[in-house]
Amino acid sequence: MEKVRLGIVGLGAQGGLYAGFLADGKVENMVIGAICDIDPAKKEWAAEKYPDVPFYEDYRDMLDSGDVDAVVTCVPHYLHPEIGVEALKREIHALVEKPAGVYTKQVRELNDYAAKKPHLTFGIVFNQRTNPLYQKVKEIIDNGEVGQIRRTNWMITTWWRPQGYYDSSAWRATWGEEGGGVLVNQAPHQLDLLQWICGMPEKVYSNVKYGYQRNIAVEDEVTALLDYGNGATGVFITCTHDVIGTDRFEILGDKGKIVVDDSKKVTIKRLLKPESELSDSMSMQDVMKIFMGGNQSDIYTEEVLEFESEWGAQHIAVLENFTAAIVEGTPLLAPGSDGIHGVTLANAIHLSSWLDKEIEIAFDEELYLAELNKRIDEEKTAPVTF
Amino acid sequence: MEKVRLGIVGLGAQGGLYAGFLADGKVENMVIGAICDIDPAKKEWAAEKYPDVPFYEDYRDMLDSGDVDAVVTCVPHYLHPEIGVEALKREIHALVEKPAGVYTKQVRELNDYAAKKPHLTFGIVFNQRTNPLYQKVKEIIDNGEVGQIRRTNWMITTWWRPQGYYDSSAWRATWGEEGGGVLVNQAPHQLDLLQWICGMPEKVYSNVKYGYQRNIAVEDEVTALLDYGNGATGVFITCTHDVIGTDRFEILGDKGKIVVDDSKKVTIKRLLKPESELSDSMSMQDVMKIFMGGNQSDIYTEEVLEFESEWGAQHIAVLENFTAAIVEGTPLLAPGSDGIHGVTLANAIHLSSWLDKEIEIAFDEELYLAELNKRIDEEKTAPVTF
């Protein structure tokens, strides 16, 4: 294979972005193979902008055409697993957009199918994993530099959305067509980073507000309490109504602390001895000396790292990593099968608020789907399973 | 009355501090009337240090002596309500140390009794209420400068305690003699400030770890999720095992945001228009202009205030305010009856973790006491109600 020919399913904002990157030659070893969209306006636009690129109205026709070696799914969340499976069936590599799907049952079906085709590349667009800042934080945790995690805490409210945003398309912020609110649209990257860096919790309890500050059916305000099962706890907070957003991620370990501010600045405090050793060896007089006397450098060192944010570069990096995986077998930074973790977290957070109790992370997938379908029925739209 | 003569019940660290302030003439219109302690070593020490001050071994004898016009209760938490009632019974003003008690039932009895004696001054040592920083934050909230509260979030883990602290006295960190851990010993000031500034929640859910990082029966790790009943939510996190403590208090209102860092720095962001108006009037294009173009000063102003911390001054201010209330009828900054709120929060947080469910703030006080007594029985000590 000389160049990987990518089929872009859905020529909306995201699909258009990828088309632009490829047309401009920004992704090594990848070109546009074909474009697919059900919208006639998009067809017209594509004919003008990319006259030499084959266009399809049905993604199955595109998959059968021989024009593409791989696809990316820039369509509503519910459709990602189905398109992923149909591509893999035809020996076509699949890159799914986040979230991998709306409910874990459909994502698990995709993962199970992909597991039968290990020779194909199956990736997910978790572009934030290409961010050097979060790679560094993960490295520090993985190296044990701040020890075993005791607490995680992420407040991420930097995606303000006015009512006009929700009113701009009928499918937005609906159970039937989008499948949720901030948890499925804005927060999937952070839900993924949280579990990528800190692991999955065992239990989740949540307080979720549906249509709290916006006239929508789905959630615009989330507070989730995580229990990792080994004593460690966590809090995840997100919303779309904070116009002065906060982005603060703190991880407490038994050998130090990491604080990430605004996804730009990382403050790492490394204890010279593990906290338990300090506890066992210090008297209250020693403590007073350090805290009242004020020389805390006796117990830890501090490192501050600043990172530049490069949003477009992240998506190019994802496409390049996906291409390299196909062409050279380079490991994927975000294997497609990882997509289920963030969906599991989002589903568990919904389910806890719906049932008003703490939820095991290994919750009953059928129960989640049944509860989701209840909300879809209330919206008087078609049921979830097509 | 020329000078208020204060009876100090308990000559430990706190009682000794008050005695020193009064002996040094630091509190206007207040002098030491008498000192009381059951410990013979304290009696000896008092005889040396304050030879002219009457000393009692039984606080009732002190109350009956005619030597004191007011008392302060520097004794284990369980005893505060009893001593408060006994003082008020004898027409003696009462200043109770925090927390007002261990369980709400005993604090309610104190409050009910005090309500029958409105001519007496009944205060509580919430010295943090004298901190100009928190007074300013309360003023901003009370004035509606950041609008109606949508979210509160306080992580306060700046009180590291080594195992040696807990091992220093047999009563420490026991259910029977201290009545709890970080919630009853370290966090009462913040529990009070949180409710003083932001009001009481209607429901509480918690994840509390007992003896998580220390060899103790009581809690050393707390995450509580608050629901204010009007859509607003909150999170309160505290622990005693974070040697690099975090103190970060954020309040999101519908007209702005306040962030307090380290109880020293207050950042106030005031929206030029209420968030709901911005939501109703802005298109997604407008949003992109502000957030991508980067001129957020179009939507809010920012003010940063820095405060010095003066720990000793706070306690002197409490004693002076209490004295002025007795002598001149000056309103109390912290009326004694306010003490029940923090105890209610602490009890609700315990109870939620014990019953593993969300708790109404108007929980059954007898149920709390029964659950507390279970834990005391497990410790094989005497029951709570003497």
Instruction: Please judge whether A155 and B153 are an interchain contact, meaning their C-beta atoms are less than 8 angstroms apart.
Output: yes
Q: How far is the alpha carbon of B216 from chain A, nearest alpha carbon, in Å?
A: 13
Q: What number is the average pLDDT over the span B289-312? A: 81
CA B282 to chain centroid: 43
A200 membership: H or E segment, kind and range: none
User: Residue with structure tokens 């979720």?
Assistant: A208
DSSP H or E segment with residue B303: strand B300-306
- B27 — pLDDT class (breaks 50, 70, 90): very high
In a shared domain, residues A16 and A74: yes
Tell whether B90 and B144 lie within a shared domain. no
Residue A75 DSSP symbol: S
Its pTM surpasses 0.80 = yes
Is A162 within 8 Å of B287 when comparing Cβ atoms? yes
Q: Is the pLDDT of residue B386 over 50?
A: no
Q: Do A283 and B357 touch (CB under 8 A)?
A: no
What are A328-362's pLDDT values in tens digits? Answer: 999 999 999 999 999 999 999 999 999 999 999 99
Q: Is residue A281 part of a domain?
A: no
Q: Is residue B301 part of a domain?
A: no
Please name which of B252, B251, B247 lies closest in space to residue B263, comparing C-alpha atoms: B247
B382 has a pLDDT exceeding 60: no
Give the H/E segment covering residue A345.
helix A339-355
Q: For testing the chain A interface, which of B244, B269, B356 should be mutated: the one with the most A CBs within 10 Å?
A: B244
Q: Does one domain contain both B13 and B148?
A: no
For A223, the closest of B221, B235, B241 (CB atoms) is B235
The answer to whether residue B311 scores a pLDDT higher than 70 is no
Residues 6+ apart with CB under 8 A from A33: A5, A6, A7, A53, A54, A67, A68, A69, A70
Q: Are B68 and B145 in a shared domain?
A: no
pLDDT at A384 over 70: no
What is the per-residue pLDDT for B310? 67
Per-residue pLDDT band at A294 (split at 50, 70, 90): low
Over the stretch B108-162, which tens digit does the pLDDT of each residue have? Answer: 999 999 999 999 999 999 999 999 999 999 999 999 999 999 999 999 999 999 9
Q: What is the CATH number of the domain that holds B16?
A: 3.40.50.720
Residues of A in contact with B359 (CB under 8 A): none
Q: Pick the range with the lowest mean pLDDT from A4-13, A140-149, A169-178.
A: A169-178
Chain B partners of A278 at a C-beta cutoff of 8 Å? 162, 243
Which of A212, A281, A300 lies nearest to residue B231, judging by beta carbons? A212
- Pair A331, A358 in one domain: no
- Alpha-carbon gap: A186 to the closest alpha carbon of chain B (Å): 15
Query: Chain B residue closest to A149 (CA)?
Result: B242
Mean pLDDT of A18-43: 97
Q: Residue A386 pLDDT more than 50?
A: no
Q: How far is CA A306 from CA A28, A113, A295, A373, B295, in A?
A: 28, 41, 25, 45, 21
CB within 8 Å of A319: residues ≥ 6 apart: A6, A18, A21, A22, A27, A30, A95
Would strands B93-96 and B122-124 be described as parallel, antiparallel, or unpaired? parallel
- B207·A151 Cβ contact <8 A: no
Indicate if A202 and A348 belong to the same structural domain: yes
pLDDT one-digit tens code per residue, A154-196: 999 999 999 999 998 888 999 999 999 999 999 999 999 999 9
Do A348 and A211 share a structural domain?
Answer: yes
Chain B, nearest residue to A292 by Cα: B311
Q: What tens digit of pLDDT does each residue of A252-275 get?
A: 999 999 999 999 999 999 999 999
In this structure, the answer to whether residues B163 and B226 fall within a common structural domain is yes
B38-55: per-residue pLDDT in tens? 999 999 999 999 999 999
Residues of chain A with C-beta less than 8 angstroms from the C-beta of B221: 150-151, 231, 233
Q: Which residues in chain A have Cβ-Cβ distances shorter than 8 Å to B284?
A: 161-162, 164-165, 168
Please give the mean pLDDT across all residues of chain B.
94
Range of the domain at B367: 129-257+342-381
pLDDT band at residue A383, thresholds of 50, 70 and 90? very low
Please report residues of A whose CB lies closer than 8 A to that of B274: none
pLDDT above 90 as % of chain A: 90
pLDDT digits (tens, 9 = 90+) for A182-236: 999 999 999 999 999 999 999 999 999 999 999 999 999 999 999 999 999 999 9
Which chain A positions have a beta carbon within 8 Å of B167's beta carbon? none
How far apart CA A106 and CA A372 sit, in angstroms, is 13
Q: How far is A65 from chain B (nearest CA, A)?
A: 37
Query: Residue B370's domain is classified under what CATH number?
Result: 3.30.360.10
Check whether A87 has a pLDDT greater than 70: yes
Partners of residue A151 in chain B, C-beta under 8 Å: 221, 223, 237, 239
The answer to whether residue B385 scores a pLDDT higher than 60 is no
Q: pLDDT tens-digit profile of B224-280?
A: 999 999 999 999 999 999 999 999 999 999 999 999 999 999 999 999 999 999 999
Vertex A165, ends A163 and A166: CA angle to 5°? 70
What three-state secondary structure class fits B184?
Answer: coil
Q: Which of A164, A235, A254 sits opposite B282 (nearest CB)?
A: A164
Q: What is the pLDDT of residue A284?
A: 78
* Chain B residue with the nearest C-alpha to that of A269: B244
Choose the closest CB to A300 out of B244, B256, B300. Answer: B244
Residue of A182, A244, A297, A302 to mutate, testing the B interface (most B Cβ within 10 Å of its Cβ): A244
By Cβ distance, the residue of A160, A165, A287 closest to B160 is A287
Closest residue by Cα to residue B196 from B21, B84, B338: B338
DSSP codes, A294-320: --GGGTEEEEEEE----HHHHHHHHHH
Any domain includes A272 = no
Nearest CA to A241 out of A227, A221, A216 is that of A221
For the cut 90, the answer to whether the pLDDT of residue B205 exceeds it is: yes
**Which segments of chain B does DSSP mark as H helices, in order?**
13-23, 40-49, 59-64, 80-89, 104-115, 132-142, 163-167, 188-198, 275-281, 284-293, 311-328, 339-355, 365-378
Task: Decide if A244 and B250 are in contact by the 8 Å CB cutoff.
Answer: no
* Whether residues A123 and A133 fall in one domain: no
Q: Do A227 and B242 touch (CB under 8 A)?
A: no
A9: tokens are: 């399913």
Mean pLDDT value across residues A38-60: 97
- Does residue A374 form part of some domain? yes
Instruction: Let me know whether A27 and A113 are in one domain.
Output: yes
Please give the pLDDT value at position A293.
61
Q: Is the dihedral of CA A193, A196, A199, A203 positive or negative?
A: positive
Mean pLDDT to the nearest integer, B207-231: 97
Chain B residues inside the 8 Å CB shell of A161? 284, 287
CA separation, residue A370 to residues A134, A238, A373, B230, B266 (Å): 36, 25, 5, 29, 46
Contacts of B241 in chain A (CB under 8 A): 150, 275, 279
What whole-number distance in Å separates Cα of residue A211 and Cα of residue A110? 31
Residue B381's pLDDT band, with cuts at 50, 70 and 90, is low
Q: Which residues contact A191 (CB under 8 A, 6 or more apart)?
A: A183, A236, A341, A342, A345, A346
Residue B275 inside a domain? The answer is no
Does A207 share its domain with A350?
yes
Chain B residues whose CB is inside 8 A of the A280 CB are 162-163
> Do A160 and A30 fall into the same domain?
no
Partners of residue A207 in chain B, C-beta under 8 Å: 205, 225, 227, 233
Q: Is residue B252 part of a domain?
A: yes
Euclidean distance between CA atoms B70 and B68, whole angstroms:
6
Q: Give A235 to chain B, closest Cα distance, Å.
A: 8
Residue B293, classified by CB atoms within 10 Å of its CB into exposed (0-12), middle (13-18) or buried (19+), is exposed
CA atoms of B243 and B245, how far apart (whole Å): 6
pLDDT band of residue B309 (cuts 50, 70, 90) is confident
Contacts of B164 in chain A (CB under 8 A): 279, 282-284
Size of interface A-B (CB pairs under 8 A): 156
Beta-carbon separation of B241 and A164 below 8 A: no
Which residue among B244, B254, B287 places its CB closest to the CB of A269? B244
> Is it the case that residue B384 has pLDDT exceeding 60?
no
pLDDT at A147: 98
> Would you call A256 and B233 a contact, using CB atoms and an 8 Å cutoff?
no
Count how many domains chain A has.
2
Q: Do B214 and A252 touch (CB under 8 A)?
A: no
Q: Does any domain span residue B287?
A: no
| Facing B163 at nearest CB: one of A227, A269, A280 | A280
Tell me whether residue B53 is in a domain.
Answer: yes
Question: Which residue in chain B is spatially nearest to A155 when comparing CA positions?
Answer: B153
| Contact across the interface for A283 and B164, Cβ inside 8 Å | yes
Residues of chain A with Cβ-Cβ distance to B296 below 8 Å are 244
Kind and range of the H or E run holding A212: none
Note whether A161 contacts B287, CB cutoff 8 Å.
Answer: yes
Question: What is the pLDDT, as a whole number, of residue A1?
Answer: 60
Q: Across residues A33-54, what is the average pLDDT?
A: 97
Q: Chain A residues with CB inside 8 Å of B310's CB?
A: none
Query: Residues of B with CB below 8 A from A155's CB?
Result: 153, 250
Question: Given an 8 Å threshold on Cβ–Cβ distance, is A235 in contact with B231?
Answer: no
pLDDT at A282: 86
With CA atoms as reference, the chain A residue closest to B269 would be A244
The confidence score (pLDDT) of residue B1 equals 60
pLDDT at position A298 is 81
Lookup result for tokens 């990828």 = A18
